[in-house]
Amino acid sequence: MSVVIPYQVEPHPVTGVTSGKLGIWLFLASEVMLFGALFSSYVLLRVGAAVENWPTGVEAGLNVPIGTANTLVLITSSITMVMAWASLKMDNLAAFRRYFGTTIALGLVFLVVKAFEYSDKFGHHIFPATGWPEAGDPSVFYGLYFTLTGLHALHVILGILVNLWLLFFGVALWKTDKERLTGRIEIAGLYWHFVDLVWIFLFPTLYLL
151-181: pLDDT as tens digits: 999 999 999 999 999 999 999 989 988 988 9
Say how far apart CA 34 and CA 37 lie, in whole Å.
5
**Interior angle at CA 38, CA 33 and CA 39, nearest 5:** 95
185-208: pLDDT as tens digits: 999 999 999 999 999 999 999 998
Looking at the predicted structure, is the pLDDT value of residue 12 above 80? no
CATH at residue 43: 1.20.120.80
Residue 136 binned pLDDT confidence (cut-offs 50, 70, 90) = very low
Q: What are phi and psi of 179, to 5 degrees?
A: -65, -35
Burial 163-180, CB ≥16 within 10 A → b, else e: beebbeebbebeeeeeee
For the chain, the domain total comes to 1
Has residue 5 been placed in a domain? no
pTM (2 decimals)? Answer: 0.90
By the 8 A CB rule, do 159 and 107 touch?
yes
Q: State the residue range of the domain holding 47.
A: 19-208
Looking at the predicted structure, is the pLDDT value of residue 36 above 80? yes
Looking at the predicted structure, is the pLDDT value of residue 41 above 80? yes
Q: What mean pLDDT, rounded, does the chain reach?
A: 88
Has residue 62 been placed in a domain? yes
- Number of DSSP helices (H) and strands (E) in the chain, helices first: 5, 0
State the helix-helix crossing angle for 93-123 and 64-89, rounded to 10 degrees.
160
Has residue 171 been placed in a domain? yes
